């Protein structure tokens, strides 16, 4: 856990999961909207991360 005000580091597999999701279009992930609003990708990333075994990213 980082100190107050510090930044958490992602392990390489976790960072790869997040990077892979951010490089895909919302429509490719099953979403109707093509708008890249901030909550849509983060909500999807949280669900995918938990399913992939990264529960810390799901929050």
| Contact between 44 and 31 (Cβ < 8 Å) | yes
Q: Does residue 52 surpass a pLDDT of 80?
A: yes
Half-sphere exposure of 9 (CA within 13 A, CB side): 3
Chain segment 8-37, per-residue pLDDT in tens:
676 777 778 777 777 777 777 777 666 556
- Tell me the whole-structure pTM to 2 decimals: 0.37
pLDDT recorded at residue 40: 66
Residue 46 pLDDT grade (very low, low, confident, very high; cuts 50, 70, 90): confident
pLDDT at 53 over 80: yes
Tell me what pLDDT residue 7 has.
Answer: 67
């Amino acid at each position: 856990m980082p100190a107050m005000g510090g930044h958490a580091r992602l392990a390489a597999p976790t960072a790869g999961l997040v990077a892979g999701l951010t490089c895909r279009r919302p429509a490719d992930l099953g979403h109707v909207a093509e708008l890249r609003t901030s909550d849509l990708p983060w909500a999807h990333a949280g669900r995918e991360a938990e399913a992939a075994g990264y529960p810390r990213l799901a929050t």
